[in-house]
């Protein structure tokens, strides 16, 4: 073969290879799997998980995902896995059941959920990861943990339990690094979400405040006592976030404190307001990304806009994030300039993304 023919053939091969990279298409066709170098839109994180993702966080510059799965990429894992930007890996032996929530406390990653074992040792629904192994937090709690947050120098856990460390603690308890303690009389019922807003700890769920007979969906702890936030109506609150100086609540409801609001609403400290016309089904996760509020959930429209399970609110109106996902978004976080979504979906936009995907504006 002449040198000129060899050069021409080489040019053709290089051009074809570059076209695959530019288009993001897999060689064997089907749904595209763009590399993580894509500048805008949706991209996959390896081959994702073989089960749903409930919780996402950043820890030591890694992305950590929790839920109910046994595979993350090529790694064998147990309900929790870490992403280093190129591949998935296990965090020790993981947990023996579903992870619902994460928080950072005292330099460690804290996980809460339905599990009773972490790293083959009893953990009782909550455990700490120090970078090499899991350990229990005292004797843990006696039922599922649904939410975690740090407040006033202590780790706060919320869920469906009524004891923590052997001490009576209805629905919510505080860990100071050595011991568990109740927060006043607690919240009798189920705590589903926690956040810090305006210097107060905010709890969401369905519970009675101060042992009363009236149930509330939201309550605030000021360090001394609980007070109910006006939140009457049917349905539940599943997610909390802070945006534009206001407390944002998401869930499955049609009003909040007497104000019509479909599945998402904002509290300014005095009154509730809707975010446009809200979403057509429930909101499961909230996060702030590039100065916008991001909502994820079971919905297919936000405001007057088609938005498949994920949408952005800019303070005035809703907009979709590309073609969204093909099923429920349960968790959101931000890492290295990207919005990370986890849930029950198998694709994001036109990209194959098994239960986890990244979005870049």
Do 44 and 20 share a domain, yes or no? Answer: no
Give kind and range of the element (H or E) at residue 13: helix 3-23
- Whether residue 323 lies inside any domain: the answer is yes
- Of 264, 144, 158, 270, the residue nearest 206 (C-alpha): 158
- Whether residue 249 lies inside any domain: the answer is yes
- Of 322, 264, 317, 261, the residue nearest 292 (C-alpha): 317
84 dihedral zone (left: phi>0; alpha: psi -120 to 50; beta): alpha
| pLDDT exceeds cutoff 80 at 302 | yes
- Whether residue 148 lies inside any domain: the answer is no
Do 23 and 45 share a domain, yes or no? Answer: no
Sign of CA dihedral 159, 163, 167, 168: positive
- Whether residue 341 lies inside any domain: the answer is yes
Mean per-residue pLDDT for 186-205? 96
The gap from C-alpha 255 to its chain's centroid, in whole angstroms, comes to 24
The owner of tokens 């695959």 is 20
Q: Let me know the angle formed at the C-alpha of 33 by 27 and 38, rounded to the nearest 5 degrees.
A: 115
Helix (H, G, I), strand (E, B) or coil at 197: strand
- Whether residue 270 lies inside any domain: the answer is yes
For the segment 218-263, what is each residue's pLDDT rounded down to a tens digit? Answer: 999 999 999 999 887 778 999 999 999 999 999 999 999 899 999 9
d(CA 324, CA 41): 10
- Whether residue 2 lies inside any domain: the answer is yes
Average pLDDT value for the chain: 89
Do 266 and 238 share a domain, yes or no? Answer: yes
| pLDDT exceeds cutoff 90 at 282 | yes
d(CA 44, CA 155): 32
Helix (H, G, I), strand (E, B) or coil at 20: helix
What six digits make up the tokens of 193?
Answer: 């979400």
CATH number reported for the structural domain that contains residue 335 in this entry:
2.130.10.10
- Give me the domain span that covers residue 9: 1-30
| pLDDT exceeds cutoff 70 at 209 | yes
Domains of the chain: total: 2
pLDDT at 26: 33
For the segment 82-97, what is each residue's pLDDT rounded down to a tens digit? Answer: 999 999 999 999 999 9
Given a contact cutoff of 8 angstroms between Cβ atoms, the answer to whether 284 and 294 are in contact is no
Our separate counts of H helices and E strands in the chain read 1, 40
Mean per-residue pLDDT for 90-109? 98
Do 10 and 44 share a domain, yes or no? Answer: no
d(CA 191, CA 100): 12
Q: Where are the alpha helices (DSSP H) in 102-199?
A: none
- Whether residue 144 lies inside any domain: the answer is no
d(CA 281, CA 341): 18
d(CA 197, CA 231): 16
* Reported confidence tier of residue 38, pLDDT bands at 50, 70, 90: low
Do 22 and 44 share a domain, yes or no? Answer: no
pLDDT at 29: 29
- Whether residue 190 lies inside any domain: the answer is no
d(CA 167, CA 173): 9
Do 236 and 272 share a domain, yes or no? Answer: yes
d(CA 105, CA 269): 28
The owner of tokens 């994460």 is 102
| pLDDT exceeds cutoff 80 at 24 | no
Cβ within 8 Å of residue 310, ≥6 positions away: 294, 295, 296, 297, 320, 321, 324, 325, 329, 341, 359
Do 270 and 236 share a domain, yes or no? Answer: yes
Do 303 and 333 share a domain, yes or no? Answer: yes
For the segment 163-183, what is each residue's pLDDT rounded down to a tens digit? Answer: 999 999 999 999 999 999 999
End-to-end CA distance of the chain: 48
pTM above 0.85, yes or no: yes
Pairing relationship of beta strands 292-297 and 283-289 according to DSSP bridges: antiparallel
């Amino acid at each position: 073969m002449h040198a000129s023919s060899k050069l021409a053939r080489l040019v053709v091969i290089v051009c074809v290879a570059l076209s695959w990279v530019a288009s993001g298409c897999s060689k064997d066709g089907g749904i595209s799997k763009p590399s993580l170098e894509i500048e805008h839109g949706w991209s996959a994180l390896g081959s994702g998980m073989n089960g749903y993702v409930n919780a996402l966080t950043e820890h030591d510059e890694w992305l950590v995902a929790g839920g109910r799965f046994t595979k993350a990429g090529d790694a064998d894992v147990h309900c929790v896995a870490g992403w280093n930007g190129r591949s998935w890996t296990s965090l020790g032996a993981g947990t023996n059941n579903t992870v619902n929530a994460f928080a950072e406390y005292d330099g460690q990653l804290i996980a809460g959920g339905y599990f009773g074992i972490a790293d083959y040792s009893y953990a009782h629904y909550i455990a700490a990861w120090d970078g090499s192994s899991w350990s229990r937090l005292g004797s843990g709690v006696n039922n599922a943990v649904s939410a975690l947050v740090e407040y006033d120098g202590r780790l706060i856990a919320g869920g469906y339990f009524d004891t923590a460390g052997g001490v009576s603690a209805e629905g919510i308890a505080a860990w100071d690094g050595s011991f568990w303690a109740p927060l006043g009389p607690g919240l009798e019922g189920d705590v589903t979400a926690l956040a810090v807003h305006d210097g107060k700890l905010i709890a969401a769920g369905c519970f009675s405040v101060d042992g009363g007979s009236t149930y509330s969906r939201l309550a605030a702890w000021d360090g001394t006592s609980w007070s109910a936030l006006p939140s009457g109506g049917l349905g539940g609150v599943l997610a909390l976030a802070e945006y534009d100086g206001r407390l944002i609540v998401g869930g499955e409801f049609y009003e909040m404190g007497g104000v019509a609001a479909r599945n998402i609403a904002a509290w300014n400290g005095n009154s509730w307001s809707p975010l446009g016309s809200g979403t057509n089904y429930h909101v499961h996760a909230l996060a702030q990304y590039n100065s916008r509020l991001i909502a994820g959930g079971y919905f297919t429209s936000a405001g007057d806009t088609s938005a498949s399970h994920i949408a952005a609110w800019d303070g005035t109106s809703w907009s979709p994030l590309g073609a969204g996902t093909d099923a429920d978004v349960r968790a959101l976080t931000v890492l290295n300039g990207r919005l990370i979504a986890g849930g029950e979906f198998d694709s994001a936009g036109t990209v194959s993304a098994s239960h986890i995907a990244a979005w870049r504006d």
